[in-house]
Chain A
Amino acid sequence: MRNLNEFWAKYKKNKIGIVGLFIIIFFVLLSILAPILPIPSPTATTSQIDSPPSLIHPFGTNDLGEDMLSLCIWSIEISLITGIFAAIIIILIGLIIGMISGYYGGIIDEIFMRITDFFLVIPSLVLIIVITALFGANLFNVILIIGLLSWPTTARIVRSMTLSLKERQFIEAAKISNVPNFYIIFKHLFPNVFPVIIATGILNISGAIFTQASLVFLGVGNITDLSFGLLLHNAFEGGDIIGGFWWTSLFPGLFLTLIIIGFVFIGRSLEQILNPKRSE
């Protein structure tokens, strides 16, 4: 996929991919424009407590009288930051472990893959919950924990791609010409692995957003930052559901789900385009 125009021509034809792209662009713009949008400050309280959606408050208000629309818009930021930075960590570790494991093979491969299997077997969400409950009181730690514990699938994909690339002539040729291993990995392997791994990276963004929201919903992680998980947690713990105040759960969850689906759609379309065996 050297030609960007050619790539875009293919992507344009993918309906799901375009829908996903529009969703994400919409939410990114909403988040960037939040300070200048005509919405009340997310911390501004009014006397209208738990009021259903109206013209003044399209998403209603919560038990403090805060505007739900404003809270939802200001929550986008944390989701995007968590998703993108956690995905970068996941991709970095996945690339390093996968390429080294696949390229060198032998005992290094065996050790790395057993460690990968170990992390694949353990239910990651529960592991992340436990570690976050102990160490993860802020956004930085939450991103780090999600990133450090979610790389195994990516590492496996990179490894199997490396294994097939290793047999190709240009790598063989480089090896025979005594090119240093790390140079082959960096100059020949990496550029070929990277485009395909972007699809996985985008899917990792949605996974990390999902995980961070789940953590905060359960009451662990960065529970002082304004986020969708926090809004849903407050609605749940504050008895809004029993009280029938549906708007405090519906809208934050809808925003969160749309962002996750947006990235999933983009990731799946990229997968189809970059790995066309499946699609046509």
Chain B
Amino acid sequence: MLISVTRGTRKSDIMRSSTIYIIRRIVFAIAVIFAIIIFNFIIFRLLPGNPIDVLYGGKILTPQQMKMLYQQFGLNQPMWLQILIYIKNTLTGNLGISYTYSLPVSSILFNAIINSLILGTPALIFAILIGMWTGKIAGWKRNSQIDNVVTNISMILWSIPAYWLGTLLILLVMKTGIIPVSGMFTIGTIYPNFISELFDVLKHLFLPLITLTLVTFGSYTLIMRNSLLDVFDEDYILTARAKGVPEKVVLNKHAVPNARLPIVSMIAIHFGYLVGGLVLIETVFSWPGIGYTIYQAILNRDYPLLQGAFLIIAISVVLANFVADLIYLYLDPRIKYEKFK
């Protein structure tokens, strides 16, 4: 929690506590990533049989592939060495071979993650903007009719399973044939130029983007509303009102900028939630991102791919959290003054 500003703090102290803050976040991020790698190592070895049976069970492998896998897992080595080999492989991007696609997992995931970002980034931005806007209205007119409507709609949208909403939207627009409901490109199209390719992708992006935005923004609405209500209790708002500052100015210049701060930290916490929605929505719309890859991996029992996809998602979320922490530090000067244990 934030602590009030200490008077007479010297500049060097500020620098030092910012540095400590950043170092703490870096250490935490690295620790989590290592824990995820170790977790990934352990979980696929908890299953009976050796990892090759588990990961590639029932699949016909050539002797050459078999030899490669034995080498990759270091199966004739002691356990501690196997862990080290696994960490080294993971860190160097060697995530094994997906037998569904007969391609290295890392190259499949690289394309998938870019497609996921194309869908996830604008959805996150829209969700935050809509959430902050609606949350501002609800918090401003608290306990009014409009507050009730906004809060209830946010809660309902937030409760709707993303894949079901996606399905309904597909059923609604499919008959019209205006926008495509599946995939990222129109199959079999040869694009004359980049603009027409971009246009085609945008058309495919439309429905999944709307779905993801709809199921995500509600949580930001509620956070913004609550955050605004907290700010309204602060003395400086009372002061501003007492000074006769117009209500609109109190809202937009005094309250909203301060209410934005918790949003930044909440974006990070809700990032995992967005990723969950992404997995389900990509599946419904066959959007070839990381979530769709997970679905394919489940259907085909392609464990190396599943393992790799989880690793990449988890690491991305940890990194996104780290970036959010840095933004928080930049936006909130108070944190620089905070004393750390």
Contacts and interface: CB of A to CB of B under 8 A. Distances in A.
B32 A241 contact: no
A220 B296 CA distance: 12
B229 interface: yes
Contact of A278 (B229, B276, B295, B321): B229
Contacts of A253: 161, 164, 167-168
B231 to A, nearest CB: 13
Contact of B164 (A131, A134, A135, A232): A232
A232 B170 CA distance: 14
B163 A214 contact: yes
Most chain B CB within 10 A, of A126, A250, A264, is at A126
B185 interface: no
Contacts of B32: 117-118, 121-122
A154 interface: no
Nearest to B313: A126
Contact of A127 (B156, B163, B310): B310
Nearest to B35: A118
Interface stretch (A87-95, A172-180, A255-263): A255-263
Interface string A203-247: 000100010011001111000000000001001100001101010
Contacts of A219: 295, 298-299
B280 A218 contact: yes
Contact of B171 (A121, A206, A241, A280): A241
A121 B280 contact: no
Interface string B207-226: 00000000000000000001
Contacts of A142: none
B175 interface: yes
A265 interface: yes
Contact of A123 (B160, B161, B229, B276): B276
Scoring B36, B161, B279, B303 by chain A CB atoms within 10 A of each residue's CB, the highest score goes to B161
A176 B46 CA distance: 48
Interface residues on A, range: 35 or more
A111 interface: no
Nearest to B341: A110
A52 B76 CA distance: 60
A78 B303 CA distance: 28
User: Which of B156, B298, B307 counts the most chain A CB atoms within 10 A?
Assistant: B298
Contacts of B280: 214, 217-218
B159 A218 contact: no
Interface in A114-154: 114, 117-118, 120-127, 129-131, 133-135
A248 to B, nearest CB: 10
Nearest to A206: B159
Contacts of B269: 120
B167 A134 contact: no
Contacts, number: 134
A220 B163 contact: no
A122 B163 contact: no
Contact of A246 (B171, B275, B294): B171
B284 interface: yes
A166 interface: no
Nearest to B170: A241
Contacts of B46: 134-135
Contact of B295 (A114, A127, A218): A218
Contact of B272 (A121, A213, A256): A121
Given A123-B275, A123-B317, A241-B170, A213 B295 contact: no
B298 A244 contact: no
A126 B279 contact: yes
Interface of B: prevailing SS: helix
**Which residue, A118, A121, A210, A265, has most C-beta atoms of chain B within 10 A?**
A121
B24 to A, nearest CB: 11
Contacts of B314: 122-123, 126-127
B279 A134 contact: no
B152 interface: yes
A232 B306 contact: no
A236 B167 contact: yes
Contacts of A124: 272, 276
Given A130-B307, A218-B280, A249 B168 contact: yes
Interface string B306-341: 110010011001100100000000000000000000
A107 B254 CA distance: 40
A16 interface: yes
A279 B151 CA distance: 12
A233 to B, nearest CB: 9
Interface string B251-280: 000000000000000000101110110011
B275 A257 contact: no
Contacts of A118: 31-32, 35
Given A121-B317, A129-B298, A261 B275 contact: no
A268 interface: yes
Contacts of B318: 121-122
A256 B47 contact: no
Contacts of B284: 236
A102 B172 CA distance: 51
A246 B175 CA distance: 12
27 contacts: A118-B31, A121-B32, A122-B317, A122-B318, A123-B273, A123-B317, A124-B276, A126-B276, A126-B313, A127-B314, A130-B306, A134-B47, A134-B303, A210-B159, A213-B161, A217-B280, A242-B174, A244-B171, A244-B174, A249-B164, A253-B167, A253-B168, A260-B159, A264-B155, A264-B159, A278-B226, A280-B143
Give the top 6 A-B pairs by smallest Cβ distance, nearest first: A125-B276, A253-B164, A123-B272, A123-B275, A260-B159, A130-B310
